[in-house]
Structure 1
Amino acid sequence: FSPKSSLACVNDEHITCFNGVPTMFIAMFNHPDFAKTDFSYMRTGIMAGANCPADLMRRAAEEMNMREIISVYGQTEASPGCTMGEVNEDIDHRVETVGSPFPGVECKVIDPETGEELPDGESGEFVARGFNIMKGYYKMPEATAQAIDADGWLHSGDICCRTPDGYYKVTGRLKDMIIRGGENLYPREIEEFYLTNPKVRDVQVVGVPDERYGEECCAWVILHKGETADEAEMKEYGNASIARHKVPRYFLFVSEFPMNAAGKILKYKMRDMSVEMLGIKTGK
Structure 2
Amino acid sequence: MEHSGSQPDRSYTRGTQDRALLALTIGQAFDNTVAAHPQGEALVVRHQQLRYTWQQLRETVDLHARAMLALGLKTGDRLGIWAPNCAQWCIAQFASAKIGVILVNINPAYRAAELEYVLKQSGCQWLVCAGAFKTSDYHGMLQGLLPELAEQSIGQLHSQLLPELRGVISLDAQPPSGFLPWSQLSALAAGASAEQLQARQDSLDFDQPVNIQYTSGTTGFPKGATLSHYNILNNGYMVGESLGLTATDRLVIPVPLYHCFGMVMGNLGCVTHGATMIYPNDAFDALLTLEA
Q: TM-score, normalised by structure 1?
A: 0.25
Please give the TM-score of this superposition, normalised by the length of structure 2. 0.25
Query: Where is the strand percentage greater, Structure 1 or Structure 2?
Result: 1
